[in-house]
A and B are shown apart, each in its own frame.
Chain A
Amino acid sequence: MELLAFGDTGWGDELFYATLMTIAVSITAMLIGFLFALIFTPLKLSKNKFLNLIANSYTTVIRGVPELLVIYLLFFGGTGAVMYVASIFGYNEYIEINAFITGAFSIGIISGAYSTEVFRGAIQSIDKGQFEAANVLGLNKFGKFFKIILPQTLRLAIPNLSNVWQITLKDTSLISVTGLVEIMRQSYIAAGSTRDPLFFYSFAAVLYLLLTFLSMKLINKLEVRYSRGY
């Protein structure tokens, strides 16, 4: 228990902040994923073959290639890509991208591919009559989407999105390879300096279990909320 003490003698406070970091990265990645889903779901549902192809390549590649490989691509290639874009605008200094941004972005791309599939499935399973009814009521495009389609999509999507969240949360452990100090990285550091890897990695496992358990509780509440009326 001394190992987990707060302050200079133990690793309690370090691990606590690392847990907060994991939560922060997971939420940011999930939101970035939603952003990707917002772009790619309409492309998937579009009737244009070319747009379909773009969206399908995105989801197929990301879901067929290991997460670690995607992280390495962005970790080693991210700086180069950003500097290239900056050089087009005439900025030639070295740019260092923060590990948090690289990490959240790479996990976000991965989580976005899964979210896209979930939203596509949810929208496709909404009854055609709902779209027609919205038209008959004379709602404009925004009203139709936000008042009729979106609430129903959310209800159908939440159970699957909770799976995406679990995947995203667990995937954040992989960005420890880029040096961002989240649970996994902090346990690695603590295990190295105390020579007690069994204890610290097991404790990391407990922290992850706690996070998945608590988030499931929260999501179940959301599910109940969005299923009102059914």
Chain B
Amino acid sequence: MDIELMVSSFPKLLGATVITLKLLSVSLVIGLFIGLIFAILRLNKNIFINRFAYGYSYIFRGTPLLVQIFIIYFGLGQIEYLRSTVLWVILKEPYWCAIIAFALNTGAYTSEILRSAFQTIKPGLIEAGKSLGISNKIIFYKIQIPIAIRQSLPAYGNEIILMMKGTSLASTVTLMDLTGVAKYIISTTFKPVEVFIVAGGIYLFMTFIIHNAIKYLEKKYSFN
């Protein structure tokens, strides 16, 4: 066991954790927004809108995240037309490609979580709102959305942890996130166990924090 290497690689890995956290938070915010939109589309009675939203979540949940990143990073650059538009400013950066892929991926899972949360809201609650003469819009924003968010907290907590692990794939498109730096140190020192313990420890610590934060929120917003 090379303790010295573990101590010396710790600051480097911690620095890379900042990139991991940035990737995670930005893609979660965008993903939540996408998820909410697609969850609402799924509840739409129009069959085309409905199918479109289902197709989106089916494709992104049925394929590996790695394929999605590669299509966006390596694939989209191939389209000549895209290279001449403003979008190219974003798409030529591996950082933004990774975020787009993560956001679309987590958006698909989030839409499923929110959809099932919307569907499990007791109709009585909505009827109660209606009988009080509250408009449909206000019922949606003040009754359905808060309850749906509370209902989906446990599942969404899992999704955050899965996404945190997913950000490790950013290292495959040249980004030096926690896993990227860990791999670099492993391949230069050939000490996989030591690096794994430090990098894995940082990931576990983040999992622990997320897990407890969600638990706290669950308790705070519980019905009883």
Q: A77-B193, A177-B172 are in contact. Are A69 and B179 (CB under 8 A)?
A: yes
Is A126 among interface residues, defined by CB-CB distance under 8 A? no
For B68, give its contact among A77, A80, A205 (CB under 8 Å). Answer: A205
Q: Give the shortest distance, in Å, between A95 (CB) and chain B (any CB).
A: 16
Q: Is A184 a contact of B67 with CB atoms below 8 Å?
A: yes
For A170, give its contact among B63, B70, B168, B199 (CB under 8 Å). Answer: B63
Q: Is A65 a contact of B172 with CB atoms below 8 Å?
A: no
Is B150 among interface residues, defined by CB-CB distance under 8 A? no
Give Cα A170–Cα B68 distance, bound, in whole angstroms.
12
CB contacts (< 8 Å) of B208 on chain A: these are 64
Interface size on A, residues (CB 8 A): 37
Give Cα A213–Cα B66 distance, bound, in whole angstroms.
18
CB contacts (< 8 Å) of B65 on chain A: these are 170
CB contacts (< 8 Å) of A177 on chain B: these are 172
For B70, give its contact among A69, A77, A197 (CB under 8 Å). Answer: A197
Is A100 among interface residues, defined by CB-CB distance under 8 A? no
Q: A60-B204, A64-B207, A213-B62 are in contact. Are A72 and B192 (CB under 8 A)?
A: yes
Is B21 among interface residues, defined by CB-CB distance under 8 A? no
Give Cα A202–Cα B79 distance, bound, in whole angstroms.
14
Q: A72-B192, A76-B187 are in contact. Are A198 and B78 (CB under 8 A)?
A: yes
CB contacts (< 8 Å) of B167 on chain A: these are 66
Q: Is B78 a contact of A197 with CB atoms below 8 Å?
A: yes
CB contacts (< 8 Å) of A209 on chain B: these are 58-59, 62-63
Q: Give the shortest distance, in Å, between A88 (CB) and chain B (any CB).
A: 17
Q: A69-B168, A77-B196 are in contact. Are A198 and B62 (CB under 8 A)?
A: no
Give Cα A204–Cα B64 distance, bound, in whole angstroms.
10
In chain A, positions 48-75 with a C-beta closer than 8 Å to chain B are 60-61, 63-69, 72-73
Q: Is A201 a contact of B75 with CB atoms below 8 Å?
A: yes
Is A226 among interface residues, defined by CB-CB distance under 8 A? no
Give Cα A210–Cα B164 distance, bound, in whole angstroms.
27
For A173, give its contact among B64, B74, B179 (CB under 8 Å). Answer: B64
Give Cα A69–Cα B193 distance, bound, in whole angstroms.
11
Is A196 among interface residues, defined by CB-CB distance under 8 A? yes
Q: A61-B204, A65-B200, A209-B59 are in contact. Are A201 and B179 (CB under 8 A)?
A: no
CB contacts (< 8 Å) of A208 on chain B: these are 62-64, 67
Q: Is A198 a contact of B75 with CB atoms below 8 Å?
A: yes
Is B139 among interface residues, defined by CB-CB distance under 8 A? no
Is A223 among interface residues, defined by CB-CB distance under 8 A? no
29 A-B contacts (beta carbon < 8 Å): A60-B204, A63-B161, A66-B164, A66-B166, A66-B167, A69-B168, A69-B182, A69-B196, A69-B203, A72-B183, A73-B196, A76-B186, A166-B62, A173-B64, A174-B64, A184-B64, A191-B74, A195-B78, A197-B71, A197-B74, A198-B75, A201-B71, A201-B75, A205-B59, A205-B71, A208-B64, A208-B67, A209-B58, A209-B63
Which residues of A are interface residues toward B (Cβ below 8 A)? 60-61, 63-69, 72-73, 76-77, 80, 166, 170-171, 173-174, 176-177, 184, 187-188, 191, 195-198, 201-202, 204-205, 208-209, 212-213
Smallest CB-CB A-B distances: 5 pairs = A66-B168, A198-B75, A77-B192, A64-B207, A173-B64
Extra A-B contacts (17), CB below 8 Å, given A66-B164, A68-B169? A63-B161, A64-B208, A69-B182, A69-B199, A69-B203, A72-B186, A73-B196, A76-B187, A170-B65, A174-B64, A174-B66, A184-B66, A198-B71, A198-B78, A201-B70, A208-B63, A209-B59
